[in-house]
Structure 1
Amino acid sequence: MIYTVECNFADPDSEAEWNLFYSLQKLPALISVSGFHTSQRFKALSNDCPDYLALHSIDNLHVLLSDEYRHNGGGNFARWQQHITDWQRNLYGGLDRAPAIDTDHYLVVSTIGPEPLIDAGLRPYPLHAVALDRHPEQSWLAMLDRPLVFGAGVHVYRPMAEQLTSSRDE
């Protein structure tokens, strides 16, 4: 399953420090949780969506409800919480593993259907919401080798780092 977290960060003075925390502490802590397989974080190039997106491959919803997740991965945002806005979490079925997006490629997410991705010559991967916020109900992911401009409902992201993979999956 694909676990997504989207948000904005409202304090430009501490945003760089927050990004370091997220990349160097938060993602490694998450990937250490049993049931997490991959994690990757992205920054939006589109203006009509939250600035940050994290994609995680996990086994199922029970992973997010576990004590291990609460203690090692989830909920350690206390210092940053006041600056995190537009926070949304979804759990999607449709893919077992999130695609690894190299730092010289881009992730495209469509919430309006696969057609804009297909029209751009991309291969969309369908996702359907099964838990948490469940909005949008459906999304399609694709990898892009250069940034393109799409219309409303299609968002382009650049990877902030390579995808992390659990040592259990290597």
Structure 2
Amino acid sequence: MIYTVECSYADAQTEAEWNDFYSLQKLPALISVSGFHSSQRFKALGTGCPVYLALHTIDGLSVLTGDEYREKGGGNFARWQQHITDWHRNLYACEQAAPAVQAGELLLVSRHGPEALRQMGLRPLAMEAVALEGLPPQRWMARLSAEQRSALAALPQGIDAYEAMTEQLRKTAVQTIVS
């Protein structure tokens, strides 16, 4: 399952500090939670969607309702909460884990169907909302390689593009044993 967290941030003076906290402290804390398998943060290149997107591959909803999640960082934004806007959380069922997006690549997300992504020569990952907000009820995402990105003149309408802010953190066998 893929757990998504989206938001924008309304205070330019503390935004860099908040991003450091989220990327350097929160993501590593979350990947240490039992049932989390990968985590990565993104920043939108355009408008019309929340600025920030975090993708996590998890086992299921019970991971997000457990004590370990709450203790290790779930919802731990008290210092910055007043500046977080356009906040959305969803849990999506899908056949694969969240894709790892490397530097120079893009994550493309569609709320309007997979066709535009397919027409770009991509193989979109279908996601069906199963918990939390449940909106949008379906999404499709695909990784656009650096080579494809450089050849792309413009994105089709209805596609949101994101650049990776972090590498994808993955749970290793050692982390699983220690956790």
Matched, 1:150 2:155: yes
- Residue matched to 1:123: 123
1:162 corresponds to which letter in structure 2? E
Matched, 1:35 2:40: no
Q: Which of these two proteins has the greater Rg computed from alpha carbons?
A: 2
Q: Which runs of 4+ in 1 moved over 2 A?
A: 147-153, 167-170
**Deviation sequence 1:57-106 (CA, Å, 0-9, x none):** 00000000000001102021000100000000000001341011111211
Q: Work out whether residues 126 and 140 of structure 1, in 8 Å CA contact, stay in contact via their aligned partners in 2.
A: yes
1:128 corresponds to which letter in structure 2? E
Matched, 1:63 2:63: yes
1:153 corresponds to which letter in structure 2? G
Matched, 1:84 2:89: no
Q: In 2, Cα distance between the equivalents of 1:41 and 1:51?
A: 11
Alignment of 1:130-149 (within 5 A): 130-145=130-145, 146=149, 148=152, 149=154
Q: In 2, Cα distance between the equivalents of 1:131 and 1:46?
A: 27
- Residue matched to 2:171: 166
Deviation at 1:150, TM superposition (A): 2.6
Q: Work out whether residues 33 and 73 of structure 1, in 8 Å CA contact, stay in contact via their aligned partners in 2.
A: no
Q: Secondary structure at the match of 1:40?
A: strand
- Residue matched to 2:12: 12
Deviation at 1:121, TM superposition (A): 1.1
Deviation at 1:136, TM superposition (A): 0.5
TM-score normalised by L of structure 2: 0.91
**Deviation sequence 1:119-160 (CA, Å, 0-9, x none):** 111110100000000000000010112175334431000000
2:121 corresponds to which letter in structure 1? G
- Residue matched to 2:114: 114
Question: Could you tell which deviates more after superposition, 160-169 or 66-75?
Answer: 160-169
Instruction: Identify unmatched segments of 5+ residues in structure 2.
Output: none
Deviation at 1:169, TM superposition (A): 7.8
Instruction: Identify unmatched segments of 5+ residues in structure 1.
Output: none
Question: Would you say how many aligned residue pairs link Structure 1 and Structure 2?
Answer: 170
Q: In 2, Cα distance between the equivalents of 1:96 and 1:113?
A: 18
TM-score normalised by L of structure 1: 0.96
Q: In 2, Cα distance between the equivalents of 1:135 and 1:169?
A: 36
Identity across aligned pairs (percent)?
61
Alpha carbons of structure 1 residues 127 and 11: separation in structure 2 relative to 1, 3 Å: same
1:27 corresponds to which letter in structure 2? L
Deviation at 1:24, TM superposition (A): 0.6
2:168 corresponds to which letter in structure 1? Q
Q: In 2, Cα distance between the equivalents of 1:67 and 1:166?
A: 19
Q: Work out whether residues 110 and 153 of structure 1, in 8 Å CA contact, stay in contact via their aligned partners in 2.
A: yes
- Residue matched to 2:99: 99
Q: In 1, Cα distance between the equivalents of 2:84 and 2:73?
A: 17
Alpha carbons of structure 1 residues 11 and 128: separation in structure 2 relative to 1, 3 Å: same
